[in-house]
């Protein structure tokens, strides 16, 4: 008699857990600190600052004065520039560490491996951008930005593809983040449209920070669920004592 094969159960995300994966999750959740740092530094700015019209990098400028980047020109004066640049470096380092340590959580295959490698490169780019503010070394600052934004979006795209069988809903969410990010990235190259550079830059970069926070949170939630005993499982029936003869 031929046995009927049991249906294959698709693995969920995260695929595997462990100490390093939990540490990676916290690294990515701490990405939220970037938004807090940006808000604090913006509030302390001595020059008019608009999230629609100004680059985020203007908050990291070390001196008061006019910044010129191709067609862009703005007067900047950010007394708390040190906090902004530290946030760039810290969040970038955490992104790279999280990408390295979270590998067991992702499906096997080249898509996930390459995607995480690109996320790590994006993190290194953010470190470079923070270490070299726009008014200190513009070339290196732009190099860091070039590594951070495009690489993060391509990395997320590959990770979305790796998740499409394991967790379709998360793959769709990741794909939406990529769509917003790439749209913002394209819009930054078309200033003729009149859309503020600050807005398009944030559309290009913010989805990555949001995505990392969501992924990290999902990993922690999965850890809590898997460590909680299943109360619905029936108790083991006690072993009956043998009757003595």
φ and ψ at 230, to 5 degrees?
-80, 105
Residue-range domain boundaries for the chain: 81-222
Tell me the whole-structure pTM to 2 decimals: 0.85
Q: Are 15 and 107 in contact (CB under 8 A)?
A: yes
How does pLDDT run across 79-99, given as a tens digit for each residue? 999 999 999 999 999 999 999
Q: Are 116 and 27 in contact (CB under 8 A)?
A: no
Distance CA(151)–CA(96), nearest Å, equals: 12
CA 132 vs CA 61, 160, 181, 199, 202: distances in Å: 10, 32, 24, 22, 20
How does pLDDT run across 90-147, given as a tens digit for each residue? 999 999 999 999 999 999 999 999 999 999 999 999 999 999 999 999 999 999 999 9
Q: Determine the pLDDT at residue 228.
A: 63
Helices 110-131 and 81-101 pack at an angle, to 10 degrees, of: 160
Distance CA(111)–CA(162), nearest Å, equals: 6
């Amino acid at each position: 008699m031929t046995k009927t094969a049991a249906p294959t159960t698709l693995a969920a995300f995260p695929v595997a857990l462990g100490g390093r994966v939990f540490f990676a999750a916290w690294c990515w959740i701490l990405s939220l600190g970037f938004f807090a740092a940006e808000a604090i530094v913006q509030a302390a700015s001595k020059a008019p600052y608009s999230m629609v019209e100004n680059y985020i990098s203007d908050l990291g400028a070390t001196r008061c004065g006019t910044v010129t980047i191709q067609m862009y020109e703005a007067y900047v004066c950010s007394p708390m520039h040190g906090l902004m640049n530290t946030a760039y470096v810290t969040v970038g380092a955490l992104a790279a560490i999280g990408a390295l340590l979270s590998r067991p959580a992702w499906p096997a295959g080249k898509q996930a491996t390459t995607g995480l490698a690109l996320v790590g490169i994006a993190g290194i780019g953010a470190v470079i951008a923070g270490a070299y503010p726009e008014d200190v070394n513009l070339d290196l600052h732009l190099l860091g930005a070039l590594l951070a934004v495009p690489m993060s979006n391509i990395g997320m795209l590959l990770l979305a593809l790796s998740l499409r069988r394991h967790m379709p809903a998360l793959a769709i969410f990741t794909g939406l983040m990529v769509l917003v990010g790439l749209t913002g990235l394209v819009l930054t190259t078309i200033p003729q449209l009149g859309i503020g550079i600050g807005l398009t830059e944030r559309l290009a970069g913010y989805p990555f920070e949001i995505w990392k926070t969501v992924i990290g949170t999902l990993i922690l939630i999965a850890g809590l669920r898997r460590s909680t005993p299943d109360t619905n499982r029936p108790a083991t029936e006690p072993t009956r004592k043998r009757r003595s003869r």
